[in-house]
Amino acid sequence: MSYLILVRHGQSTWNLEKRFTGWVDVELTENGKLEAKNAGDLIKKLNIQINYYYSSFQIRANHTLEIIQNSLNDKKNFIRAWELNERHYGGLTGLNKIEMGVKLGEERVHQFRRSWDLRPDPLDKKSQFHPLNIKTYKDIPKEKIPDTESLKDTYERVISYFFSEIKNKINIGNILISAHGNSIRALCKYLFKLDEKQISKLEIPTGNPLLIDINENQIIKSCKYLDQSRAKDLVVF
């Protein structure tokens, strides 16, 4: 038996401002840091050893993981993988979700946020928000950097990385992944065998660890959010 723990980063500055963030590298708010600290304290109560830590290339997920590790008194190095980054929101990047709801209509914005294979218009490569112009991504091959993504695109890169780097470690030890709403939704789609309709309903709360109990055949036996006061519907459990 092993545990896989999925944690969406704590609240970020652009979460607070209700902006489409995607690959833009923004920091945690003070509340986000408290969420990360609470996540670490909840994981500590499990009294289990984390053998492998993973995160994206993005500051908000990295800092969430560092705060969790401080709570666990575990300074083990973690692996950063751009494949675990948030979904790229293309031309919506940096825009306010509420304002775009007024401009485009709530239904259209909902489609952009929740549909399986709908991509927003590409982000101009000259934009300051394009990953090509963000120092964090300078070592990623340019041909790998997207201009926009659907959830399907995000799923394909996340699950490809999961299969190549993480899945075979599940039977060896406990794993903690600090990532993003859509990269975790992608993992949940695979792990819980969700269809496209179910994944559209799945909401991942910030800074609330999802504990997944997996047996030696890599079958999920149970799962739960550690902070039940902020738990979201898991659709299948």
- Supply 168's token pair: 């075979």
With a CB cutoff of 8 Å and minimum separation 6, the contacts of 187 are 6, 158, 159, 162, 177, 179
User: pLDDT by residue (tens digit) across 61-113?
Assistant: 999 999 999 999 999 999 999 999 999 999 999 999 888 877 777 777 767 77
* Residue among 101, 102, 123 nearest 112 (CA): 101
Give me the active site residues, please. 9, 86
2-89+150-230: CATH topology is Rossmann fold (3.40.50)
Residues 194 and 63: their CA atoms lie apart, in Å, by: 30
Q: Strand pairing of 79-80 and 210-214?
A: unpaired
In angstroms, the CA 38 to CA 227 distance is: 9
Comparing CA positions, the residue from 82, 81, 84, 92 lying closest to residue 147 is 92
Summarised one tens digit per residue, pLDDT across range 34-54 is 999 999 999 999 999 999 999
pLDDT at 204 over 70: yes
Beta-bridge mates of residue 8: 179
Is residue 206 within 8 Å of 37, Cβ to Cβ? no
pTM above threshold 0.85: yes
Q: What is the largest CA-CA distance in the chain?
A: 50
